[in-house]
Structure 1
Amino acid sequence: MSSDMIERDSRRGGAGGRRRRPRGGSSTTGIGRKDYEVDTPPARPTIILAKHEDRDSPAVSQTSSNRDSTSTSPAPSSQLPEKPVMVLKSRDEGSRTLTSTSAITNIPAGTMQGETPPQTTFLQRTIESTSKLSLPLELSRCVKLIDDQSQWCEQASECLLEQTDFLVVGVVGLQGSGKSTVLSLLAGNTEADPLRNYIFPAQTREVREECGHMTNGIDIHVTSQRVIFLDTQPLLSASVLDQLINNDKKIPPEFTTSENFAEIQCLQHVMFLLTVCNVILVVQDWFTDTALLDFLKTAEMLKPSTPPSPGHDGTSTADDQPDFFPHVVFLQNKAKREDFTVENFTAMQKTLSTVLGNSKLKMKGDVAMTTGRQSFSLNPAFVKSELNMFLLPRFDANKRESTDQLQPQVREYQGHPSFQTLINSLRGQILSMPREQQTHTTLTEKNWFHYAARMWDSIKKSQILADYNRLLP
């Protein structure tokens, strides 16, 4: 075969029928074709991708991840984002959003790279950032509402809420009748508590021996059941008059004597309670003082009328709107054994109904002693009465204990239920009384406080009370 035929065959051979000219311009033979084929990329990546100086390059990292998916070399520590570290710190500082490590693994990759966090995490953080509702201030003792100088005090407003379900209970009575003690027991104290822990300070032995009094002005206390208790200084008290004279208190020029000033001051307190209270307790330690009943009728006569509600056009119509009067409960404190008999109890009811027959105060159908649950003798089968009257025995009588160690439950028959049984019954009946409104509009606790402040200011400036003062001797 000639050399020309061999050259033609070599040009026609190969997979694609294509030959490349040998490098260097020299002639080639069939044995050396394999060394001069087209350059094919190797199956494994080149060694240059594994060099240390190219690891930080983004292009090299992307090429390495695309071409070599089976590489087992660990990712460098410099590639970890810093965002998860911040999430872990917030969890360690008390955050409630992440409570376990499983919550971190559920965060999308976009969040780890600085993108917007999921909507659920944002809502949880928003709820966390909202301020919690603060509870009202709890008081262990009473605070001043009106001081001994007849000035209004604002510190009680911190205990009041913006809600309408509340009850206002006030108390009036003579000196030493037990007003503060009864009010403290109704507010939450028990007979086992010492006197120094009572909500309203009671008379100590030293004060009792000096014929003094404990309460000056009006004290206020608010319980957790939203009951507002008001305790007043004693009515027609010689101790109050003695305090005015001995302390050289300045008497306003419109009052001629200290006696008139003390009487007008007591009238102001009773008029105030008749205006702002739902329930008023009239406490007596003996039956009965007609001067106290006449004083109560005088305060009712001088009581300011209920402010009318504004009409649709902004004007007020007081002609067709009635006045509001509180419920009155007559409490016979320190009652004796004979007071629990049917004859004496019936005589008390008849006397009060006769003296206060023309009163507009709500004195019937709310608190009853004749339910048959407290005493067997005082039950509807023997006593027919609807007057709000209740009896409480002497407080010290229930504290006597039997000296017999074998029979500690046996006690001397007293002729009436125990003091604890009766005070619990009185508390339940008072707290279950209807919580009627004092004005023509519904008031919240804070609105009641501002309404009471306005009423006290109007009572002090009352022209009717000034005219009554000029008629006094």
Structure 2
Amino acid sequence: MAGPEPSPSPKILLAKPGLVTGAPLTGKFTRGGATEDDSTRLRSRLPSVASLNLLSDSWDFHFDRFLPFLTENTDFTVIGVIGSPGVGKSTIMNELYGFDSTSPGMLPPFTIQSEENRAMARHCSIGIEPRISSERIILLDTQPVFSASVLSEMMRPDGSSTISVLSRESLSAELAHELMGIQLAVFLASVCHILLVVSEGVDDDSMWHLMSTVDLLKHDISDPSLLASSLSHNSSSGHDNNNKVPECEYMATPVFVHTKLQDQELTSKNCLKLKKALMQYFKPSSFVRENTGNKPSEENHLDSDTLNLFTIPFKKKEENPRAQHESYISALWKLRDQILAMKSPSFRRPVSEREWLKNSAKIWEQVKNSPTIFEYYKTLQHSGMYRS
């Protein structure tokens, strides 16, 4: 006898109820649709959905805001993204979500940077912005790292930081900004199944340096499935039991994506050089391990025991059908298909979506109170690179 019908999964609205009507968030995947500027103009007339953010602009974790949208389902995938301003993080996340941009009244789940924001050097993502697709894929878009606009917003006239990055420490804005990127990357590597590391062009290795730092600093962060399911009362007392060196470490699978490549950079020879350089750079790291995904294609992957690398061409108004490399749209489609087909690493034990979120709040406290990151901060502070 068949069991009772499962209750439908909760949906997340892209705007407050009543403003976008008759538009459920289905996660249906279709190609084409409205332009980036169209969606940006429409979104600008609607209230912000920043109240849903897991990580706010004050650098505090608010798990209770997202919790009602999660279930006790244990079959889910968490995909995070990190990168510099304007590299296309939100565009990639919208593609992974399966956003149907042709549906009237629908906005993309993640805001895409407008031409005006780009010209004014402003960012449009704050903290960590979560969405969940109908396939129970939890997507975590993030504010840009190495962002001048983020730095300017958090800097007081005297150069100090308005954001408390480390407990009980008063930092300069420049040093706090540096640590924010590290904390964000360590957190994503600790709670995601797959972490997209997005860079612009073939010469930008700043994200490689950041992930190398993550590999050095992450070792005292727990596997999120090994934490107690209930949240601790308060972490303000400093290093508590949750900050002990974990018995089992966990690391998300990094996927390196280089966007906005010009035609001359997309030759097979250049792409092979980039793949070899990536592998050589991370050869000593813990990221180099057996790839558990499907057998990679020759064109856009490394070998099965190396790191994942994708290249995305520069977006042009008109694609040349006779171009010798794949188009921008085709590259995005391939990225989505292969990312969603990957067998991501598993946590030590099964957890539900809701338990994962509650434990992620604990992981965030571990990151902010990490003794390893604190020692790294002390090293930076005494290096003379940042104002005191």
Which bin holds the TM-score, normalised by the shorter protein? 0.7 to 0.9
* 2:50 equivalent to 1:135: no
The question of whether the paired residues in 1 share the 8 Å contact of 2:253 and 2:344 is answered with no
Whether 2:285 is the aligned partner of 1:359: answer yes
Name which structure has the greater RCO, CA cutoff 8 Å, separation 6+.
2
Deviation for aligned residue 1:337: 1.8
2:311 is aligned, of 391, 409, 417, to 391
TM-score (norm 2): 0.73
1:377-431 C-alpha deviation (Å, 9 max, x unpaired): x389xx9785311112223x2x527xxxxxxxxx552222233332222212111
Alignment partner of 2:256 out of 307, 327, 330: 330
Partner of 2:367: 459
Q: Distance in 2 between matches of 1:286 and 1:309?
A: 39
The answer to whether the 8 A contact 1:274-1:300 is kept is: no
Q: Quote how far apart the aligned CAs of 1:336 are.
A: 2.0
Report the secondary structure of 1:146's partner residue. coil
| Equivalent residue number for residue 353 of structure 2 | 445
Q: Quote the Cα distance in structure 2 between the aligned partners of 1:368 and 1:342.
A: 22
1:329 is displaced (CA, Å) by 0.8
Q: Which amino acid aligns with 2:191?
A: V
Which among 197, 201, 210 is matched to residue 295 of structure 1?
Answer: 210
Q: CA deviation at 1:366?
A: 5.7
CA 1:243/1:451 → structure 2, altered by over 3 Å: closer, same or farther? same
SS of aligned partner of 1:170:
strand
Tell whether the 8 Å contact from 1:222 to 1:229 is kept in structure 2 after alignment: yes
Identity of aligned residues (%): 28
Determine if the alignment matches structure 1 residue 346 to structure 2 residue 272: yes
Query: How far is 1:134 from its partner?
Result: 4.2
More helix by percentage: 1
Structure 2: distance between partners of 1:325 and 1:272 = 10
2:322 pairs with one of 397, 410, 413: 413
RMSD: 3.2
For residues 337-375 of structure 1, give each alpha carbon's deviation from its aligned partner in whole angstroms, at most 9, with x where no partner exists.
233322101110111111111111256646799726xxx
TM-score by length of 1: 0.61
Question: Counterpart of 1:86?
Answer: none
Q: Which residue of 2 aligns with 1:145?
A: 54
Does structure 1 retain, via aligned residues, the 8 Å contact 2:10–2:69?
yes
Give the paired residue count.
318
Task: Report the counterpart of residue 140 of structure 2 in structure 1.
Answer: 230
Alpha-carbon offset, residue 214 of structure 1:
0.9
Specify the code of the residue in structure 2 equivalent to 1:419: Y
Give 1 or 2 for the bigger CA radius of gyration: 1
For residue 425 of structure 1, what is the aligned residue in structure 2? Answer: 334
Measure the CA separation in 2 of the matches of 1:288 and 1:369.
27
Pick closer, same or farther for the CA change 1:370–1:443 going to 2, 3 Å.
Answer: closer
CA-to-aligned-CA distance 1:110-154 (integer Å, 9 cap, x gap): xxxxxxxxxxxxxxxxxxxxx986433211437311101111222
Task: Give the SS at the match of 1:446.
Answer: helix
Structure 1 residues 144-169: Cα deviation after superposition (integer angstroms, max 9, x where no partner): 11101111222111111111110000
**CA offsets per residue over residues 27-53 of structure 1, 9 Å max, x none?**
xxxxxxxxxxxxxxxxxxxxxxxxxxx
| Cα distance between partner residues in 2 of 1:320 and 1:156 | 27
- Counterpart residue number, 2:116: 206
Deviation for aligned residue 1:309: 5.0
- Equivalent residue in structure 2 for 1:283, among 185, 191, 198: 198
CA distance in 2, matches of 1:273, 1:306: 13
User: Which sections of structure 1, spanning at least 5 residues, go unmatched?
Assistant: 1-130, 311-315, 373-377, 402-410
Question: What SS does the corresponding residue of 1:171 show, helix, strand or coil?
Answer: strand
Q: How does 1:109-120 map to 2 (within 5 A)?
A: none
1:470 to 368, 378, 388: 378
Q: Which runs of 5+ in 2 are unaligned?
A: 15-48, 228-241, 382-388
